[in-house]
């Protein structure tokens, strides 16, 4: 295993993400698409990553998807009644060098206009996150809700942080209220959901104003560092939002915890919404009824 040099500003983690499917009848063929390998991002280094699949897939082929995320197609072709996918990562997360300074950001209207006009590579790249996707569709209510934070000429980042805070306080965390396929407008009506739903609501709000927002999937440490509260979403995959401003680049925001992610948010992948980056998608042949369970363990990794 790679020797990790511990830097004072960095946090090292060992992530173990296990997904298990059990079937009442044998599955003869199972084809899957996984987003379970961390992408390279500026403030994060992946020292080792491994995807273990049991039973052994006949085909396992990694690639990079349209958003630059590592993706893995695998296909299990022997009859099986259980499928276990274990992803293990050793990851170093660097704290942001400088804290986010909302006053540095231009007014949100300027950001919106720049996105529509500017064809430089970074802005063009960001522009694809302005449009509605499956989970976040146009909706006047969402727009109205967003405009309460995005008042005229307000700093883009300041307004975005305000929106994050409002979603955090006005929505109730409820694991029973939604499923993985509940769209943003539905979550908005019920004012309840989990991290995925809050991210979708915030993304839909921002996009309704012509702003770029992407969905980030990742992890949080299972136990908080001493003296800090445990963050919600630590025992499963977590999701948050990233917003784009031509001056500052992408800025992450976590509406579930009303938090600007620093060294505790481990990035796995990003896309327009959950559907682009769901950890495992699969199609099976046979299988009868099935149950799925997932567990995520993220522990500080100090000495190896």
Partner 1 sequence: MSDDINLSARSEKRLEPDWLSYHPSAGGYDEAFEANGDVRPHWQGLLRSLAGSGLSSLKHRWSEARHLIRQNGVTYNVYGDPRGMARPWQLDPVPLVFSTADAEKLEAGLTQRGLLLEMLLRDLYGPQKTLASGVLPPELVYDNSAFLRPCHGSKPPGDRYLHLYAANVTRDPSGYFWVLGDRTQCPSGAGYALENRIVLSRMLPDVFRECQVQRLALFFRTLRETLSGLAPQQRDNPRIVLLTPGPYNETYFEHAYLARYLGYPLVEGGDLTVRDNRVFLKVLGGLQPVDVIFRRLDDDFCDPLELRHDSFLGVPGLVQAARSGTVTVANSLGSGLLETPALLAFLPALCQYLLGEELRLPSAPTWWCGQSSEREHVLTHLDDMVIKPARPSLRMEPTFGGELSRSQRTALADRIRAAPRDYIGQQRIALASAPVLAQDRFEPRHLTIRMYLAAHGDSFAVMPGGLTRVAASPGSMVVSMQAGGGSKDTWVLSAGPVNTFSLLRPDDQPVSLTRAGGDLPSRMADNLFWLGRYAGRAEGLTRLLRVVLGRLTDGAGTSESPELPSLLRSVTILSDCQPGFVGKGAPARLVAPEQELLSVIRNPRRSGSLASVLSRLGNVVGTVRDRISTDMWRVLGDLTKERFPHELFAEKPDSQRDDEQEWGTAVSGLTLIDELNYLDRVVLVLAAFGGLAAESVTREEGWRFLDMGRKMERALHTITMVQSTMVSVSPPERHLLEALLEVTDSSMTYRRRYQGTMQPAPVLDLLLADEINPRSLMFQFAALADAVDRLPRNTSQPGYTPEQKLMLSALTSLRLANLNELSLIDAAGRRSHLAGFLTQLSGSLTALSDSLTRTYLSHLQTSRHLGNFQSILQES
> Rounded CA gap, 58 and 145, in Å?
49
Least separation in angstroms between CB 134 and partner 1: 5
Least separation in angstroms between CB 273 and partner 1: 10
Nearest to 301, CA basis, from 2, 12, 7: 12
Q: Is 244 in the site for partner 1 (CB under 8 A)?
A: no
> Rounded CA gap, 74 and 38, in Å?
17
Token couple for 143: 């727009």
Burial of 108 (0-12, 13-18, 19+ CB in 10 A): buried
C-beta closer to partner 1: residue 96 or 143:
143
Q: Is 282 in the site for partner 1 (CB under 8 A)?
A: yes
C-beta closer to partner 1: residue 143 or 154:
143
C-beta closer to partner 1: residue 17 or 168:
17
Least separation in angstroms between CB 2 and partner 1: 30
> Rounded CA gap, 195 and 69, in Å?
20
Least separation in angstroms between CB 73 and partner 1: 5
Burial of 105 (0-12, 13-18, 19+ CB in 10 A): buried
Q: Is 285 in the site for partner 1 (CB under 8 A)?
A: yes
Q: Is 124 in the site for partner 1 (CB under 8 A)?
A: yes
Token couple for 147: 């405009």
Residues with Cβ within 8 Å of 124's Cβ and at least 6 positions away in sequence, in order, are: 118
Residues with Cβ within 8 Å of 165's Cβ and at least 6 positions away in sequence, in order, are: 258
Binding to partner 1 by CB under 8 A, coded x per residue (else -) over 70-89, reads ---x-x-x------------
Interaction residues for partner 1, span 165-224 (CB under 8 A): 179-181, 183
Residues with Cβ within 8 Å of 64's Cβ and at least 6 positions away in sequence, in order, are: 70, 71
# chain residues binding partner 1, by CB under 8 A: 46
Q: Is 137 in the site for partner 1 (CB under 8 A)?
A: yes
Query: What SS3 class is residue 283?
Result: strand
C-beta closer to partner 1: residue 225 or 288:
288
Least separation in angstroms between CB 214 and partner 1: 13
> Rounded CA gap, 163 and 258, in Å?
10
Q: Is 276 in the site for partner 1 (CB under 8 A)?
A: yes
Q: Is 156 in the site for partner 1 (CB under 8 A)?
A: no
Q: Which stretch binds partner 1 (CB under 8 A): 1-9, 129-137, 214-222, 229-237?
A: 129-137
CA 195 to chain centre: 9
What's the Rg (C-alpha) of the chain? 20
Tell me which long-range contacts 172-179 makes (C-beta under 8 A, separation of at least 24). 173/232, 173/256
C-beta closer to partner 1: residue 124 or 302:
124
Q: Which stretch binds partner 1 (CB under 8 A): 10-18, 44-52, 54-62, 262-270?
A: 54-62
Binding site for partner 1 (CB under 8 A): 21, 28-33, 58-59, 61, 63-67, 73, 75, 77, 119, 121, 124, 127-128, 130-134, 137-138, 179-181, 183, 275-276, 280-287, 290, 292
């Amino acid at each position: 295993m790679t020797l990790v040099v511990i830097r004072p500003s960095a946090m090292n983690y060992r992530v173990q993400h296990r997904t298990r499917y059990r079937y009442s009848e044998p599955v003869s063929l199972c084809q899957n698409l996984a987003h379970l390998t961390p992408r390279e991002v500026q403030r994060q280094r992946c020292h080792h990553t491994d995807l273990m699949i049991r039973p052994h897939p006949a085909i396992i082929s990694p690639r990079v998807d349209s958003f630059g995320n590592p993706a893995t197609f695998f296909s299990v072709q022997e009859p099986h009644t259980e499928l276990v996918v274990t992803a293990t990562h050793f990851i170093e997360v660097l704290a942001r060098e400088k804290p986010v300074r909302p006053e540095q950001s231009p007014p949100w209207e300027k950001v919106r206009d720049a996105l529509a006009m500017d064809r430089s590579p970074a802005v063009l790249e960001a522009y694809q996150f302005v449009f509605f996707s499956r989970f976040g569709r146009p909706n006047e209510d969402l727009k109205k809700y967003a405009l309460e934070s995005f008042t005229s000429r307000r700093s883009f980042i300041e307004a975005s942080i305000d929106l994050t805070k409002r979603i955090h306080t006005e929505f109730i965390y409820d694991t029973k209220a939604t499923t993985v396929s509940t769209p943003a407008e539905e979550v908005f009506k019920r004012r309840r959901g989990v991290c995925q739903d809050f991210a979708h609501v915030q993304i839909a709000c921002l996009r309704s104003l012509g702003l770029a927002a992407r969905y980030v999937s990742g992890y949080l440490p299972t136990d908080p560092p001493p003296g800090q509260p445990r963050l919600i979403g630590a025992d499963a995959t977590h999701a948050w939002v990233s917003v784009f401003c031509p001056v500052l680049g992408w800025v992450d925001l976590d509406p579930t915890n009303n938090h600007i992610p620093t060294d505790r948010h481990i990035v796995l992948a990003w896309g327009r919404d959950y559907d682009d980056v769901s950890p495992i998608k699969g199609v099976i042949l046979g299988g009868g009824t099935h149950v799925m369970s997932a567990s995520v363990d993220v522990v500080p990794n100090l000495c190896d």
